[in-house]
Structure 1
Amino acid sequence: MLKLMQKMALQLYVATERGASPSSGVSGIGDSTISDGGAGESELGGDLREDLGGNSELGNRGRRIEEILKELRPTAIHVKDISYQHAGHSGVAGSDGETHFN
């Protein structure tokens, strides 16, 4: 699974650098089905779209991180801004105080 995610990330990076649509060069992602414990087959991303809804707690940087991660089509995603735990050191200029994420 890790190798697949690394390959997908590399393909997205290369596509972005070339100016192409990131999803145009990545094939086979989201085409498979997964078992939901015997209740039937469900397409990847069915309820995921609801789970990935806008997170009002995140600033600009956090939303950009979340959007990039969504392109990998995870089964679940939660980006949490933990910058408040690292208030002792300065962040990146123009980051609106967003420096650390989980």
Structure 2
Amino acid sequence: MTDITPAELKQRQAAGETPTIIDVRETWENEEGHIKGSRNIPLGTLPEKVDELEDLKEQEIIVHCKGGGRSASAKALLVQHGFRNVRNLLGGFQAYQQA
């Protein structure tokens, strides 16, 4: 699955869509600002939380961090665990705020 641009995500949200968004930044980063409706699972804890996401394996999941690096790792981890529709938010939260 191809990654997603901040503009595309904002358009979908404006149209009333509520995709599953996972913020892999640290908790303190998420508390400073986050995408409405996102779920915070810091990258360091993601391997132990994968089982909790089992019911999302066939659904679209959008992962993001501050700039795109950690979320690329999160995407790879989820794909490795059998998730089929994982997309990285290009440019991360910084780009989303500016879009």
TM superposition score normalised by structure 2? 0.22
Q: Higher strand fraction: Structure 1 or Structure 2?
A: 2
Higher relative contact order (CA 8 A, sep 6+): 2
Q: Higher helix fraction: Structure 1 or Structure 2?
A: 2
TM superposition score normalised by structure 1? 0.22
> Considering only CA atoms, is the larger Rg found in Structure 1 or Structure 2?
1
